[in-house]
Amino acid sequence: MTAIPATSTDPIPRPGSAPDMERRPDPKEVRIAPSILSADFANFAEGAGACVHGGADWLHIDVMDGHFVPNLTFGPDVVRALRPRFPNIPLDVHLMVAKPYDWIEHFAAAGADLITVHAEATPHLQRTLAAIRAVGCKAGVAGFSATPPALLQYVLDDVDLVLVMTVNPGFGGQKFLPAAGDKVGDLARLREQEGACYLISVDGGVDDKTSPHLVRDGADILVAGSFVFHAPGGPPAGIASLRRAAASAI
């Protein structure tokens, strides 16, 4: 991937317009989406920049409200600050909040390209996904590690991405849950059976050991925080290691 200058003068894309979000990737083009939750908050922009310059395909932004999950993280202002600094990289916002519908317009206006909500967070999942698309963003749906993929069957026409959580959400650095990882294969088979075209993203415990299995099962996007930011050599080395591991599974 060509490095994106932090001082680029290119116009900021409209939400959802990032070209590499328009299609499923070739199996040889698995996307790496570092989770900035693991960045050094005192040097936040530098950490995000190291990911972008190090070859990240997307930036993953975990939004937690301290109610839906036991942690408190970012709001729309973080997205608003990153958007002009890195105008050409997709910003993938994962809403782990109790009332996701209330935040859609705020994050879209801040510059999110994709907004993912939890199926467990709203009784009106289809309406919420439709609202995301209505503001020009791609729509994603996530489920906790124990949430069955069948829950998504009735909203497949409204989904651009399905996020598989392979840890219990709330904090980074947790151990990968193999049973949750098995859902990747289930979702890939469902995608084929239904003729759907959603992307499959995996978040939680993703590293150079777990990613080959996930890619073989059908994962398109690997979200990694601790492995990328704590790698010897920093994010560029972590991203390169993940990419090699993903390629080994193809």
Give the range of the structural domain holding residue 50, as residue numbers without chain letter: 27-248
Which sequence positions are flagged as catalytic? 62, 203
* Tens of pLDDT, residues 50-93: 999 999 999 999 999 988 888 889 999 999 999 999 999 999 99
Domain-embedded: residue 90: yes
Q: What CATH number did the domain enclosing 225 receive? A: 3.20.20.70
Kindly tell me the burial class for residue 86, based on how many C-beta atoms sit within 10 Å of its own C-beta (0-12, 13-18, 19 or more).
buried
Round to whole Å and give the CA distance between 227 and 242.
Answer: 9
How many domains does the chain contain in total? Answer: 1
Q: What is the pTM of this model?
A: 0.87
What is the separation of C-alpha 185 from the centre of its chain, rounded to a whole number of angstroms? 18
What confidence category does residue 19 fall into, taking pLDDT thresholds of 50, 70 and 90? very low
Domain-embedded: residue 15: no
* Tens of pLDDT, residues 221-233: 999 999 999 999 9
Q: What percent of the chain has pLDDT over 90?
A: 70
Domain-embedded: residue 165: yes
Domain-embedded: residue 14: no
